[in-house]
Amino acid sequence: MLVSLLIWLENLAPFSALRSSAYTYPIILALHLCAISLFGAMIVATDLRLLGWVLSGTSTKEVISQLRWPKRIGFLLAGTCGFLLFAAKGEEYYYNPFFRLKILLFALVAVHALIFRRTIYADSVKLGAQAAPAAKAAAVMSLVLWLGILCAGRGIGYVAGRPGMHYR
């Protein structure tokens, strides 16, 4: 049933045109990678600050608040471009083990966000000595999860699609 839905989605005119475009698909892919770079840099800077390894002269609260909007913009652009890329080749991605790993890691990032958003990231004023172990644990988990997503995403392009894909 899910594969049928993905085949239907990728055969919609806009996504079929995107997939077969000589220029549009590569441009969206490049924008996706640029957005990941922006978002990733903001994540790394925040997490390394939580670990106390960089920007030690700047308060954690200031780093988190200053990087919040660039992080959101990068995430929104990466997500939008990622959806377009997925919608153009949904069936192919469905069978791709790296894509499945990426989705699993995204689910773990969502769990991470549910656990640490209110306690660490939203209430950065309270990041004192008592919160340091929890903040460092959150930062390490975040770095590991996002690095895993980055590696899985890179691996997606190395798995060939199945013959006869993208056709009804």
Let me know if residue 84 belongs to a domain.
yes
Rounded to whole angstroms, the Cα distance separating 74 from 38 reads: 5
pLDDT-based confidence at residue 150 (cuts at 50, 70, 90): very high
Let me know if residue 163 belongs to a domain.
no
Let me know if residue 6 belongs to a domain.
yes
Let me know if residue 164 belongs to a domain.
no
Q: What is the predicted pLDDT for the residue at 126? A: 58
Instruction: Report, as an integer, the average pLDDT of 17-31.
Output: 94
57: Cβ–Cβ under 8 A, 6 or more apart, which residues?
none
Rounded to whole angstroms, the Cα distance separating 78 from 70 reads: 12
Rounded to whole angstroms, the Cα distance separating 16 from 34 reads: 24
Q: What is the predicted pLDDT for the residue at 120? A: 73
Rounded to whole angstroms, the Cα distance separating 51 from 155 reads: 29
* pLDDT tens-digit map of 94-125: 889 999 999 999 999 999 989 887 777 666 55
* pLDDT tens-digit map of 32-62: 999 999 999 999 999 999 898 988 888 888 8
Let me know if residue 85 belongs to a domain.
yes
Let me know if residue 165 belongs to a domain.
no
* Percentage above 90 pLDDT, the chain: 60
Q: For 25-47, b where at least 16 C-beta lie within 10 A, e where not — what string?
A: beebeebbeebbebbbebbbbbb
Let me know if residue 141 belongs to a domain.
yes
Q: Helices marked H in the chain — which ranges?
A: 2-10, 13-20, 24-50, 60-88, 90-94, 97-116, 132-156
49: Cβ–Cβ under 8 A, 6 or more apart, which residues?
55, 58, 60, 63, 64
Let me know if residue 90 belongs to a domain.
yes
Rounded to whole angstroms, the Cα distance separating 62 from 102 reads: 31
Q: What is the predicted pLDDT for the residue at 124? A: 57
Range of the domain at 20: 2-156
Higher pLDDT, 159 or 129: 159
As for how many domains the chain has, the answer is 1
pLDDT-based confidence at residue 135 (cuts at 50, 70, 90): confident
Instruction: Report, as an integer, the average pLDDT of 153-163.
Output: 80
Rounded to whole angstroms, the Cα distance separating 45 from 142 reads: 11
Higher pLDDT, 161 or 45: 45
Higher pLDDT, 161 or 37: 37
